[in-house]
Amino acid sequence: MAGRLDGKATAITGAASGIGRATALLFAREGAAVAVLDCNEEGGRETVARVEKEGGRAVFLACDVSREEDIESALAATIEQFGGLNVLVNNAGIVLMANATNTTVEQWDRVHAINLRGVFLGCKHAIPQMQKQGGGAIVNTASIGALVAVPVHAAYDTAKAGVLGLTRQLAVDHGPDNIRVNCVCPTATDTPLVRGAGANDEALAALARMHPLRRVAQPEDIAHAILFLASDEASCVTGVALPVDAGWTCQ
């Protein structure tokens, strides 16, 4: 059976682990050629190896999404190797647990450089190619923090709210180009990023009990939502913020 992304050239930032890796694996299973963009070379190459082990096609491209020259070069290499760019997933991000008064200017700038500017730069350098091709799909990873305030996430939540605003703006500006732009808004997801911020099994279990579905998300939960938004099944969907949150935002 044909995959939902057969023949599609795709690029995913932050694909060395977590949601990005799960999305890369899922995209490849659905027939996409996948460019794995990340500053973590070891993790990125591991993602490529897993894709290739399953018979898929992938390439690793080193990229710090906060640097315009990096994202421009990585997307140019994707287009050169795959012959175009049909789908971009702006997923790279970092987390900072701090309220505003405990956040340094340097921390604020770093979170926004990766979580918001990185999304802007990815879109800026992907859209011209998509315009040439007659369309494309962009999916940005925002957060429930773009929809509701999460305690002690001042820099993170405001950056993710910016991702949501940018998503809607691009959807309006480039809908006439047949470019769809959407974002997913995950709740806490069991990823190395979240565990690296101090969430162990006990903390995740306690957090799960706070959600109506009594669970936190797995990377694959978010990847399936991204796949839907990237696929032709969502051909009439643009500018949306899709919560994948075990019911958190409906409380």
Question: Which residues are part of the catalytic machinery?
Answer: 156
Residue the block writes with tokens 């894709």: 51
Strand residue runs (E) in the chain? 9-13, 33-38, 57-62, 87-90, 136-141, 179-186, 241-244
| Token reading at 219 | 């990377």
What are the residues facing 140 on neighbouring strands? 90, 183
Contacts 24+ apart (CB under 8 A), 230-237: 230/5, 230/8, 230/10, 230/27, 230/87, 230/89, 230/137, 230/139, 231/4, 231/5, 231/30, 231/137, 232/4, 233/4, 234/137, 234/180, 234/182, 235/180, 237/180, 237/182
